Amino acid sequence: MAVPFLKDLRNLVFGLVLGLALGLWFGVNLGKGKPVFSNPFANPTIQNRLKETGSKVLGQGGKALEESGKALRKAVNE
């Protein structure tokens, strides 16, 4: 006959291990900026890396154009 509190202790340990594993999985994905349920061990393909890099470059280029446009307007208005 099993002691009743051992069953509760086993369930508690199982729940903690499962919660730790899921928390680690979700945390790694959130830290990498990926969807929560995606595979944290998947390496991004070259196409995905190029798309991300291109998006960053376009965003930075757009900001630079806006700043230079503001400077030109300011110079013209003076």
Would the pLDDT of 4 be above 80?
no
| Residues 6 or more apart in contact with residue 53 via CB below 8 angstroms | none
The radius of gyration of the chain's CA atoms, rounded to the nearest angstrom, is 26
In the chain, where the domains are located:
1-42, 44-78
Q: What is the pLDDT of residues 10-24, one digit of tens each?
A: 999 999 999 999 999
Would the pLDDT of 1 be above 60?
no
